[in-house]
């Protein structure tokens, strides 16, 4: 019996996969001038408890930018949890040997936390071209976190590299332009080319139009390249609850059949 059918029989109403969660300990070293600086722990055990309480069996740990490439705790946590996968933050000069070991540990992609950078890196540099080529060769994905107005500045190089692309938080469009934001439209075009996925996630960060943005993304690209995520533990907005993200998901994607399509997308992308 497949993973999908077994899990669904047990928990038919819950999302199968949360594709974007974080774990960390307050003892971990923060990078200089971090975007957020949590003063609490959100451990793997706390995440397990949260997922179990809401019937979610699989998850993908997103590397969190406050700790930059200090990926140690994420990697350690994945080694004993076969239903978890993760992304890491890496310097583009990383060698293939380290990438291969990370793959054995359950890592399936690299997060690009460019939203924190006032000046974007040159993706046409030798280091980045080699880095992206290696990731594509390994069938990994890059996990882009960037404000919508700047997405068009990096998306062409990512598409040219051939690497799989996952874009966070409905492409974080300009709050005034919404779906007319060029980053939103560039994301739609990238998805239509077939190698890009979008997370319907972090609605609580996107303002009162977040449900409409999710529905508009689905209308323009269909559900076959969409993923759901909670963004737990909601760093910087800790009053958010896990249940509220599930409620938002139900409002944004009211048809259970479409949510099942998104479950399959997540399994195919992260667990095959």
Sequence spans of domains, the chain: 3-271
Nearest-5° Cα angle at 198, 200 to 71:
95
Q: Give backbone dihedrals phi and psi of 76, rounded to 5 degrees, phi first.
A: -60, -40
Closest CA to 155 of 125, 116, 123: 123
Q: CA 196, 202, 205, 208 torsion: positive or negative?
A: positive
161-209 per-position pLDDT tens digit: 999 999 999 999 999 999 999 999 999 999 999 999 999 999 999 999 9
pTM of structure: 0.94
Packing angle of the helix pair 182-193, 151-161 (nearest 10 deg): 10
Distance CA 6, CA 157 (A): 40
What is residue 12's predicted lDDT score, i.e. its pLDDT? 60
Distance CA 113, CA 52 (A): 28
Q: Give per-residue pLDDT as tens, 2-61.
A: 444 444 333 467 999 999 999 999 999 999 989 899 999 999 999 999 999 999 999 999
CATH 3.20.20.140 fits 3-271, yes or no: yes
pLDDT attached to residue 109: 98
């Amino acid at each position: 019996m497949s993973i999908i059918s077994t899990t669904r029989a047990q928990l038919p109403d819950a999302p199968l996969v949360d594709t974007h969660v974080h774990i960390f300990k307050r003892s971990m070293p923060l990078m200089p001038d971090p975007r957020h600086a949590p003063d609490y722990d959100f451990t793997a055990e706390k995440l397990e408890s949260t997922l179990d309480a809401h019937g979610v069996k699989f998850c993908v740990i997103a590397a969190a930018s406050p700790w930059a490439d200090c990926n140690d705790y994420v990697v350690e946590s994945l080694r004993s949890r076969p239903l978890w996968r993760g992304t890491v933050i890496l310097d583009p000069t990383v060698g293939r040997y380290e990438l291969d070991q990370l793959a054995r540990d359950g890592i399936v992609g690299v997060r690009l936390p460019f939203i924190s950078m006032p000046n974007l890196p040159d993706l046409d540099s030798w280091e980045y071209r080699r880095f992206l080529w290696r990731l594509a060769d390994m069938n990994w994905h890059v996990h882009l976190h960037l404000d919508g107005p700047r997405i068009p500045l990096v998306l062409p190089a990512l598409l040219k590299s051939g690497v799989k692309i996952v874009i966070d938080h409905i492409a974080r469009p300009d709050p005034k332009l919404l779906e007319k934001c060029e980053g939103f439209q560039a994301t739609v075009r990238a998805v239509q080319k077939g190698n890009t996925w979008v997370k319907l996630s972090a609605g609580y960060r996107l303002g009162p139009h977040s449900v409409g943005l999710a529905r508009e993304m689905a209308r323009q690209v269909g559900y076959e390249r969409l993923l759901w995520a909670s963004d737990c533990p909601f760093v910087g907005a800790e009053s958010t609850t896990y249940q509220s993200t599930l409620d938002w998901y139900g409002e944004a994607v009211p048809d259970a059949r479409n949510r099942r399509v998104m479950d399959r997308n997540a399994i195919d992308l992260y667990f095959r």
